[in-house]
Each structure stands twice: as C-alpha cells, then as structure tokens.
C-alpha cells in the first residue's frame, strides 16, 4: 500500500530526529520502553529554549504570575481529593482474537458492530476502567499505607501550595502560579512518536480569579496562548482553538478550549485552556481541613478563588515545532548543480544552535584563530557551534538540517588580505534566504542577539 504524503513526511521527520540527535527511543539498546523517549544534544537545547521562552512570557514578563517547582511524589491524599484515584481512568477493552488491549474509543463501528480497527476482531471484552496513574511505594514497605503515585499532572502541587504561595508573594487576585515539570501517565496506547507518551513534561499556569471574572480570563488566556505559539514560529493557519462541547468537558469546568495543531498525522491537541471553577481548591480544603480561602481586604470577604488553567505539553510542542520547521527545497551543491536541501526553519528564538562559525579553510592558521576568537566573542550571548570540517557548502547544509539560523564565515577579506577596508568583517549567512551580508565582527553580538531574542 502506498503511504500518504503526510505519513511519508512524518517518517522523514522521525528519521531526522534520530539521525541528527534530537530524539532517541529510551533504553534503545535493550529494545526500548514503549512511550518513553530521550532527548539528544539538539533535542535538549530545543526543549530548553521552549521552556525558557514559556517561563519568560508567563512569569518574568508579568507582574501577576510567580513560579514554583513541586515534587513529583506527593501524599496519596492529594490524588484522592483531586479525584484522580477514582476517576483518572480510560475505558479499555481486550480483543480476544489478537489479545491486544486498546481504549474503547479507538474501536470502529461497522454495520452497527464494534470491532478492532487493525485485526477486525469483534470478540471484545466489555469496557473496564483502567487507572492511568503509575503506582509506587514510599519507604521500605510495599503495602497500602506506603502507596502513592507518580503525578499525572503538575497542577495539583500548585493547588496544595496555594496558601503558602499567596502568603509569601503577597499577590492580590487575579494572580497566577506557573510550573514546568514531568508528569506520568500509563497510557494504554502510546503513539505518534512523542505525541502520546507515558513520561512527558507539562507547562502549566493556574490563574486564580474571582468567580464573576472566570469566563473573561478563559478567553484572555486562549488568545495569549495562541499568540505564544505564533511567537515561536507556528503559523496561525495551522493552529485551531476548539471549544470543547459541554458533554466532553470535565463536570466541574464551565468552559474549555483545546488548542490544536495540524500534525502530519492529523489535527491534535497541543494545550488545554480550562476554566476549572473553584473545584480543585474546594476539594483540597474539604479533604485536608485547612482553609484555602482568599481574604479580600477591601470587601472583608473570604472565599475560594476560581481558576483558569492553560496547560501545555512540552513534548507535544517540541514535536509541533519540528513538524512545522521541516522543509525541503532546492539549493546548488559545490559544483552549482541543484540538490534537495533539508531545512529546519526554526524561529531563531527556539533554534537549538543560534550561530555556526566557519573558517573558510581549516589549514590556514590565521583563519582558524580568527574564527575561534569570534566563537569566544559570541559564547556569552548564545549557543554557538564551530565547524572547520569539509567544504563550506557542506558545512552550511549540515547546519540547515538542524535549523541553525545564522552562519558566520571567516575568509581572507576578514584578515584584510584582499581589501584593507574589509578587515575584521565576516559574511553572515541567513539560513532561510541563503543571502549573505558583510558585517563588522564587533557588531556581530548585537546583530545576532537582536535577531534571536
């Protein structure tokens, strides 16, 4: 069967991720572990740049948000009170024909009969609830008293620390608490590369407000989050804000948007923006017996704030960034013959390596020395890569393929050998247009910083 162009594109992306060191299968030499992934040297930079930018716009550039970093293991009581222990489940069926286990919503219906899409098996067990939390034991005994879970979302740490953070930050409503961290879900069918994993990272904001302002803040955050994705290079046309219908929303939510992206494997959720009302704080107040109320000094009223939660997946966004950036075009090779060029057109702000520095020839000591001087000049400001191996065109191609937006070449003009007026200038190449401009070395840090921030 011929693969669809999108499936083919996805295969090329997965292969590039491995070949160039973005993403590897976890425990690969032992056959891997389904739903777990490792980020290689370039993947970790991309992920870090994404998280840093999220933190910058969600925390540092605002007066009304502070951050926290909670532990992954928490008291089991948290998961009882939040409802996760009883209800964080997927309905699951077993196919008796091929012995596969799958989510009930993945069955297809033909002539009114449910069946498994792959094998067509109709002999299925009735759906059973399967809890997605990973169990673990804290301390030396392995019994009910020491049982807890790896957190399935970062949000609960924010709710249970609400009072402490309110007191130390002295914030007034509306204000938010942001967190980035690992979450774990024992997904029944991890799939689509890193899209649905068992271990992943979330970037979550809990934005506390008055009940009457909840719907307004929900719309505000939906718009802010769409802007965020555009600012990291995702085209608005590939983003969609879906209003989650009443019957699909959590029972406590008064409104939810899913921000979706057109992945090669279909339109899928990147982030949920949910108005969770006062459900979480109320649950924890009830279960812990500790007040989680807010005291309004002006009106002298005490109440439990409502919350709007933009909750994004780091790994899904990284995957969207790679899918969005992947492109192929035509460029001349060393001999002027046109060849296919693979380019990751990352926004400079999130590109793993910002600038590559090349001496034109590696066996000309003054060129090498000058190039290394430029590396040292740029390093305090950005992640720079030095490369002296191979023809210059090949070196450009290698950087294009990993999405480095700028290349600096040190040539004989830089040394002042051809035209003294060009001494201490270099060529600065733009990855996308492939245009080159001549710029003074001393101006490089300023020019590049303005283009990558």
Could you tell me the two tokens for 245? Answer: 């219908």
User: Which residue, 240 or 451, is less far from ligand GAP as judged by CB?
Assistant: 240
Q: Distance between CA 323 and CA 337 in Å, rounded?
A: 28
Report in angstroms how near the CB of residue 138 gets to ligand GAP at its nearest: 23
Binders of ligand GAP among residues 299 to 338 (CB under 6 A) are 309, 311-313, 315-316
User: Which residue, 153 or 400, is less far from ligand GAP as judged by CB?
Assistant: 153
User: Which residue, 185 or 429, is less far from ligand GAP as judged by CB?
Assistant: 185
Contact 441, 426 (CB under 8 A): yes
Q: Which residues contact 157 (CB under 8 A, 6 or more apart)?
A: 68, 70, 71, 74, 151, 179, 181
Give the interface segment with ligand GAP, choosing from 56-64, 133-141, 242-250, 266-274 (CB under 6 A): 266-274
Report in angstroms how near the CB of residue 270 gets to ligand GAP at its nearest: 6
Binders of ligand GAP among residues 271 to 290 (CB under 6 A) are 271-272
User: Which residue, 43 or 272, is less far from ligand GAP as judged by CB?
Assistant: 272
In the complex, which residue's CB is closest to ligand GAP? 313
- Interior/surface letters 398-410, b for 16+ CB within 10 angstroms, e for the rest: ebbbbbbbbbbbb
Report in angstroms how near the CB of residue 59 gets to ligand GAP at its nearest: 17
Contact 447, 377 (CB under 8 A): no
Residues 332-371: x/- map of binding to ligand GAP (CB under 6 A)?
A: ----------------------------------------
Q: Distance between CA 440 and CA 423 in Å, rounded?
A: 8
Contact 452, 354 (CB under 8 A): yes
By CB under 6 A, residue 254 contacts ligand GAP: no
Give the interface segment with ligand GAP, choosing from 14-22, 40-48, 245-253, 267-275 (CB under 6 A): 267-275
Binders of ligand GAP among residues 363 to 422 (CB under 6 A) are none
Q: Distance between CA 83 and CA 251 in Å, rounded?
A: 12
Decide: residue 383, CB within 10 A, 0-12 exposed, 13-18 middle, 19+ buried. Answer: middle
Q: What are phi and psi of 313, to 5 degrees?
A: -100, 130
Which of 65, 95, 239, 270 binds ligand GAP (CB under 6 A)? It is 270
Report in angstroms how near the CB of residue 35 gets to ligand GAP at its nearest: 8
User: Which residue, 185 or 306, is less far from ligand GAP as judged by CB?
Assistant: 185
Strand 294-296 versus strand 355-359 pairing type = unpaired
Using alpha carbons, list the distances in angstroms from residue 338 to 54, 70, 145, 256, 435: 39, 53, 68, 49, 17
Which of 187, 280, 324, 387 binds ligand GAP (CB under 6 A)? It is 187
Q: Distance between CA 8 and CA 191 in Å, rounded?
A: 16
Binders of ligand GAP among residues 2 to 21 (CB under 6 A) are none
**In 10 A of CB 227, how many CB atoms?**
11
- Interacting residue ranges for ligand GAP, rule: CB under 6 A: 153, 155, 185, 187, 196-197, 200, 202, 204, 269-272, 309, 311-313, 315-316
């Amino acid at each position: 069967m011929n693969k669809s162009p999108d499936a083919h594109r996805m295969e090329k992306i997965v292969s590039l991720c491995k070949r160039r060191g973005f993403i590897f299968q976890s425990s690969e030499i032992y056959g891997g572990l389904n739903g777990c992934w490792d980020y290689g040297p370039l993947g970790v930079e991309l992920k870090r740049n994404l998280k840093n930018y999220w933190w910058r716009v969600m925390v540092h550039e605002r007066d009304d948000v502070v951050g926290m970093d909670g532990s992954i293991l928490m008291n089991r009581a948290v998961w009882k009170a939040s409802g996760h222990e009883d209800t964080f489940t997927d309905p699951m069926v077993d196919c008796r024909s091929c012995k596969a286990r799958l989510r009930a919503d993945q069955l297809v219906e033909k002539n009114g009969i449910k069946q498994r899409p792959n094998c067509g098996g109709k002999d299925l067990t009735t759906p059973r609830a399967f809890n997605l939390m990973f169990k673990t034991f804290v301390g030396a005994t392995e019994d009910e008293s020491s049982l807890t879970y790896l957190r399935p979302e970062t949000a609960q740490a924010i709710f249970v620390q609400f009072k402490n953070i309110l007191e130390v930050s002295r914030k007034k409503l509306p204000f938010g608490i942001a967190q980035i961290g690992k979450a774990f879900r024992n997904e029944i069918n991890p799939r689509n590369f890193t899209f649905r994993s068992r271990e992943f990272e979330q970037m979550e904001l809990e934005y506390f407000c008055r009940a009457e302002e909840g719907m307004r803040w929900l719309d505000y955050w939906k718009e802010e989050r769409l802007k965020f994705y555009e600012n990291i290079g995702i085209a608005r046309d590939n983003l969609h804000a879906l209003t989650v219908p009443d019957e699909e929303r959590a029972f406590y939510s008064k409104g939810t948007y899913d921000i979706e992206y057109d992945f090669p494997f279909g339109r899928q959720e990147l982030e949920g923006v949910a108005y969770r009302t006062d459900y979480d704080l109320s649950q924890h107040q009830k279960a812990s017996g500790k007040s989680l109320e807010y005291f309004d000094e002006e009106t002298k009223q005490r109440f439990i704030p409502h919350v709007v939660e933009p909750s994004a997946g780091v790994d899904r966004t990284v995957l969207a960034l790679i899918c969005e950036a992947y492109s192929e075009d035509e460029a001349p090779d060393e001999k002027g013959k046109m060849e296919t060029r693979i380019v990751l057109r990352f926004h400079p702000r999130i590109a793993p390596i910002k600038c590559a520095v090349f001496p034109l020839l590696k066996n000309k000591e003054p060129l090498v020395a000058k190039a290394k001087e430029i590396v040292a000049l740029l390093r305090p400001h950005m992640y720079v890569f030095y490369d002296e191996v191979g023809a210059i065109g090949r070196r450009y191609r290698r950087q294009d393929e990993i999405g480095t937006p700028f290349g600096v070449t040190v040539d004989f003009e830089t040394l002042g050998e051809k035209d003294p007026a060009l001494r201490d200038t270099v060529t600065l190449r733009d990855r996308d247009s492939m245009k080159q401009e001549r710029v003074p070395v001393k101006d490089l840090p300023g020019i590049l910083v303005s283009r990558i921030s």
